[in-house]
Amino acid sequence: MIQIPMRPAVSLSLAFVLLLLSLHLHAILPCHAATTDTLSPGQELTGGDKLLSSNGRFALGFFQTGSNFSHDTTNPELKWYLGIWFHTVPKFTPVWVANAENPVANLASCKLLLSLDDGNLVMPSSNNRSSTVAIWSSRATATATSTAASLLDNGNLVLHSASNASDIFWQSFDHPTDTILQGAKIGWSNATGLMIRRRLVSRKNAVDQTPGLYSFQLLFGHGGHTSIVSMYNSSDTYWSSGDWGGRYFSNIPETVGQTWLSLNFTSSEQGKYIEYAVEDPTVLSRGTMDVSGQMKVLVWFEGSQDWQTIYTAPNSQCDVYASCGPFTVCSDVPSPSCSCMKGYSIRSPQDWELEDRTGGCARDTPLYCNGSSAAAGSEHQADKFYPMPSVQLPSDGRSVGTATSADECSVVCLGSCSCTAYSYDDQGGCYIWHGRLLNVRQQGNSVLHLRVAAKEVQGISKTSNRGVVIGAAIGASTATFCLVFLLTIWMRKGKRHGDDAQGGMGVIAFRYAELLYATKSFSEKLGAGSFGSVFKGSLSDSTTIAVKRLDGVRQGEKQFRAEVSSIGIIQHVNLVKLIGFCCQGDRRLLVYEYMPNGSLDSHLFQSNGGTVLDWTIRYQIALGVARALAYLHASCRDCIIHCDIKPENILLDGSFTPKVADFGMAKFLGRDFSHVVTTMRGTVGYLAPEWISGTAITSKVDVYSYGMVLLEII
Ligand SMILES: *[C@@H]1O[C@H](CO)[C@@H](O)[C@H](O)[C@H]1NC(C)=O
Ligand SMILES: *[C@@H]1O[C@H](CO)[C@@H](O)[C@H](O)[C@H]1NC(C)=O
């Protein structure tokens, strides 16, 4: 009966390798040689069997997701799912899950077969073959007595007539989970005779495949308007593509002419849907409603052996509804992070580590109002308010017209046990909030007065570190990996802490896809510096740019944004201007103004092929670089020691005006400099002796390097 070949035991070594390869998810995949893409009548798929699409790209079988997060290793509650994944990709990536809400505890009871009753695909529970009490079933109504199931080359699992493969009764593309693949649709479609609504739903967390709260779907408004929206709990829209106008959705015109992604809306008798298409069929790509609530388009890059995010919607993590959960503050700068409000602690640190923040934070000390019996004794005191400045208020506040001063407003709030915060300002008046506080963001200039137990406010000085802010970078992988990256970067670059940075004024955040387009897929290389390669590009307004791709620098997003923010505010005629940056997934790019005459070294040292500079120009360069250093050392707001002055870092514009590059990569003046010595930068020859002798590093190290450059100029 069973024609699909099987291998018995789970290969432990394979499991171990996979465990190392994946950050969020790992699969313990049984070793197995699949030979077929079709499950025929009478056959069944058990334990380690799988169907393989004929092009080898997708596999259907049973998989287990697990966690490699430190404290979770003792957790044996890893369950089995029936699903489809990318078979050619070493990083385990499921694209569809059948029994997401009903995982199976042990592999031995995993089985997939074609029901003898009605031809449906069934995962029977124990030995009962009926589809009605199944763990999972395709539940197609119009089936033939003899059916077969095939895994197609595009990753679609179809249930069809055994005698005619075009006669389709059910397909997995009609029931997507969090992922859309090339050729799949979102919206309404009647491909199998039934109008089926397809939408993407996030997973609960990086391990648990249970549907989460974020969805990505088509919305049909009044008057024939159609848009794509991201929703929270099927009710709150936090992102919209805008209406379809015939060629593109109004808020995302950038999707027109994209080779990586096209979103075409179709309205016909077959349905109303958008189809996900990628021009190059050899590219492995997927659109995924991420656990974080961001819709992401990812492409597999062979070079880095990883998925790279090329598009996200919304662009900012803090724009996602309830992104950090209740009683948290979401912050975009210097990098997206969530922190608990004063007097609150993370409800479930384990869920947070798995990027599921729906639980948010919980109050440490009960309020006097509803917790008086718990806090019995001498601590009986009315609740206090803790002011949270510079925040964007949650939108669901209730206006209290009767309160005409901040004091009156606070009294109204104290009068209700469910009131958790108030805000008051002369123009807007009094607002109070009941219950959980969602979507508070570190942005703007409003003040939210958070209600806390009196004890919390009194104890600020003593307990300021306890449970106040436990920042967690969104999208951060495991703590271990981060630590290794951060250490590496610290050792290499001697960087300042992220909290030094203010907002990056006027610095544009580019999407990776935009820079790909601007640089024609990084086709014109200008040079390779200490941190990566530089490519020439052109923006849509025909500004020529130099894009520095930080190759191999797997810098944490927080640090990166901090660096960008602090560099962005430094501007001088003799400093290369930072126009923007891109920080998407693992990609780190800096966008600078383009310098047509290259770097000084190519002109000083003839072997590099530059033109010979005359004395006027040499003088002008010497003066310009000195001005730039004087500015960095003394005049700009946060004094900066360059630490790496050398001809390669002095660029020349069209009229040979010098512009110093790579500044701001060193620590700010006045911070712990003894450690900087150990992370010595610069190039031997231009390095001041104090780098080696261990005496204090001052701005004079730049003066020394400048002196060496001056000698070379002469
Ligand atoms: C197979 O099924 C398709 C779709 O139902 C139908 O159009 C076609 O005529 C069938 N072919 C045969 C040989 O029965
Ligand atoms: C989601 O919505 C349902 C029904 O509207 C509600 O009962 C549930 O509490 C909501 N869940 C969350 C986490 O907001």
Overall average pLDDT of the 144-171 stretch? 92
Overall average pLDDT of the 126-148 stretch? 76
- Cβ(435) – ligand 2 distance below 6 Å: no
* CA separation for the pair 590, 391 (Å, rounded): 29
Annotated catalytic residue 644: yes
Q: Is the pLDDT of residue 54 over 70?
A: yes
Whether residue 493 sits in one domain with residue 430: no
pLDDT tens digits, one per residue of 271-321? 889 988 877 777 889 999 999 999 998 888 776 788 877 788 898 889 999
Whether residue 618 sits in one domain with residue 564: no
CATH classification at residue 647: 1.10.510.10
Whether residue 191 sits in one domain with residue 168: yes
Residue 349 lies in a domain: no
Cis preceding linkage at 314, omega within 30 = yes
Q: Which of 540, 567, 593 is the last residue of a domain?
A: 593
* CA separation for the pair 56, 152 (Å, rounded): 10
Whether residue 290 sits in one domain with residue 432: no
Whether residue 44 sits in one domain with residue 166: yes
Q: Which domain holds residue 31?
A: 2-317
Whether residue 544 sits in one domain with residue 692: no
Residue 699 lies in a domain: yes
Q: Which of 593, 609, 627 is the last residue of a domain?
A: 593
Assign 24 a pLDDT band (cuts: 50, 70, 90): very low
* CA separation for the pair 523, 330 (Å, rounded): 38
pLDDT tens digits, one per residue of 587-638? 888 899 999 888 898 888 765 556 788 888 999 999 999 999 988 887 766 6
Residue 322 lies in a domain: no
pLDDT of residue 95: 96
Count CB-CB contacts under 10 A for residue 541.
Answer: 5
Atom of ligand 2 nearest to the CA of 213: 13
Whether residue 194 sits in one domain with residue 104: yes
Q: Which ligand number lies closest to the CA of residue 211?
A: 2
Cα of 353 vs centre of ligand 2, distance in Å, is 23
CA atoms within 13 A on the CB side of 335: 23
Residue 341 lies in a domain: no
CB under 8 Å to 168, separation ≥6 — which residues?
A: 158, 159, 160, 191, 192
Q: Which of 419, 440, 462 is the last residue of a domain?
A: 462
Residue 354 lies in a domain: no
Find how far residue 471's CA is from the centre of its chain. Answer: 16
pLDDT tens digits, one per residue of 641-656? 787 788 888 999 988 8
Q: Is the pLDDT of residue 533 over 90?
A: no
Helix axes 615-630, 700-713, angle to 10 degrees: 170
Which position among 356, 364, 644, 662 bears the catalytic label? 644
Cα of 100 vs centre of ligand 2, distance in Å, is 19
Whether residue 512 sits in one domain with residue 413: no
CATH classification at residue 501: 3.30.200.20
Whether residue 610 sits in one domain with residue 578: no
Mean pLDDT (the chain) is 78
Whether residue 498 sits in one domain with residue 456: no
Whether residue 508 sits in one domain with residue 412: no
pLDDT tens digits, one per residue of 667-692? 333 333 333 333 334 455 677 766 65
Q: Is the pLDDT of residue 27 over 80?
A: no
* Of the ranges 153-167, 241-255, 520-534, the best mean pLDDT one: 153-167
Tell which wins on pLDDT, 102 or 586: 102
Tell which wins on pLDDT, 610 or 704: 704
pLDDT of residue 467: 32
User: How far apart, in Å, are the Cα atoms of 186 and each of 174, 197, 279, 379, 639?
Assistant: 9, 8, 18, 57, 53
pTM above 0.85, yes or no: no
Whether residue 410 sits in one domain with residue 301: no
Least confident among 245-259, 668-682, 699-713: 668-682
Residue 200 lies in a domain: yes
Q: Which ligand number lies closest to the CA of residue 144?
A: 1
CA end-to-end distance (rounded Å), the chain: 88
CATH classification at residue 311: 2.90.10.10
Pocket of ligand 1, candidates 158, 161, 163, 167: which has the most ligand atoms within 8 Å of its Cβ, to mutate? 167
Residue 332 lies in a domain: no
Helix or strand run (H / E) with residue 157: strand 157-161
Number of domains present in the structure of the chain: 4
Cα of 234 vs centre of ligand 2, distance in Å, is 9
Residue owning tokens 């990996």: 481
User: How far apart, in Å, are the Cα atoms of 85 and each of 31, 37, 157, 432?
Assistant: 15, 14, 11, 48
Residue 269 lies in a domain: yes
Task: Tell me the two tokens of residue 659.
Answer: 């512009």
Tell which wins on pLDDT, 386 or 606: 386
Overall average pLDDT of the 239-262 stretch? 79
CATH classification at residue 379: 3.50.4
